[in-house]
């Protein structure tokens, strides 16, 4: 303590203490921020499962809502809604060029709208990174019918493919 005009003054000590507190606060904020970054990374690690290990999402409300909207759009042949629900590389044929644009024309030319509606009414089950229907495609590699697959893209469900059984040359 210093004496100023005959009185005791704590000003320099208080200033040092304030600097010390501000330094500790800044350090505490930095430590908290770094700890937050580490815990965020740990959360990311826990949330991101290895490729090919999608859990069953059939009971998930976001999957159910997506599938409900998809079913309605397919039943109404609402190509605008369907297009917004598909992946950019949507697969619709095993033939070269059987992905992306041209899917609705292909379905119409091959009378596949009815088949699409039948498959979309089936139960979806996990297979690799996809939820697929019908469930038989996951146990029978030679399943002869059409199949549909949905996958998560940046956290949102997307319609990824609707194709017939692969030709023997593609198996």
* Better pLDDT: 61 or 36: 61
Q: Any idea which residue has 């998930």 for tokens? A: 60
- Amino acid 32: pLDDT: 41
**pLDDT-wise least confident of 44-48, 62-66, 108-112:** 44-48
Beta bridge partners of 37: none
Q: What is the mean pLDDT of residues 115-140?
A: 95
Considering the chain, what is the average pLDDT of its residues?
77
pLDDT band at 170 (very low <50, low <70, confident <90, very high): low
Spatial contact of 154 and 139, defined as CB atoms under 8 Å apart: no
The mean pLDDT value for 18-27 works out to: 45
26-55 pLDDT, tens digit per residue, is 444 434 444 444 433 443 333 344 456 777
Q: How far is CA 24 from CA 16, 31, 36, 80, in A?
A: 12, 10, 18, 57
d(CA 94, CA 96): 7
Which is more confidently placed, 114 or 38? 114
CA pair distance 146, 54, nearest whole angstrom: 21
Distance from C-alpha of 129 to C-alpha of 18, rounded to nearest angstrom = 56
| 42 and 102 inside one domain | no
Residues 30, 105, single domain; the answer is: no
Here the tokens at position 29 are: 């904020």
pLDDT value at position 96? 76
Return the residue matching tokens 């759009």. 73
Q: Residue with structure tokens 């495609």?
A: 137
pLDDT of residue 1: 46
* Count of structural domains, the chain: 2
148 and 73 housed in the same domain? yes
pTM, full prediction? 0.67
| Number of other residues whose CB lies within 10 A of the CB of residue 111 | 8
Q: Are residues 77 and 151 located together in one domain of the fold?
A: yes
Q: What is the extent of the structural domain holding 67?
A: 61-170
- Whether residue 53 lies inside any domain: the answer is no
- What's the pLDDT at 14? 41
Q: Give residue-wise pLDDT tens across range 71-88.
A: 999 999 999 999 999 999
């Amino acid at each position: 303590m210093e004496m100023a005009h005959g009185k005791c003054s704590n000003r320099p000590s208080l200033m040092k203490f304030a600097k010390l507190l501000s330094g500790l606060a800044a350090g505490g904020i930095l430590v908290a921020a770094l700890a937050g970054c580490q815990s965020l990374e740990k959360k990311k690690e826990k949330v991101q499962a290895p490729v090919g290990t999608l859990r069953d999402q059939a009971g998930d409300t976001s999957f159910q809502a997506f599938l409900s909207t998809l079913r309605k759009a397919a039943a109404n042949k609402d190509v605008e809604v369907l297009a917004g629900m598909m992946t950019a590389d949507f697969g619709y044929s095993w033939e070269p060029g059987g992905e992306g644009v041209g899917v609705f024309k292909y379905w119409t030319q091959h009378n596949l709208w009815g088949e699409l509606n039948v498959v979309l009414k089936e139960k979806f089950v996990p297979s690799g990174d996809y939820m697929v229907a019908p469930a038989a495609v996951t146990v029978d590699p030679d399943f002869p019918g059409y199949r549909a697959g949905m996958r998560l893209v940046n956290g949102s469900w997307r319609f990824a493919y609707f194709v017939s059984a692969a030709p023997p040359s593609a198996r």
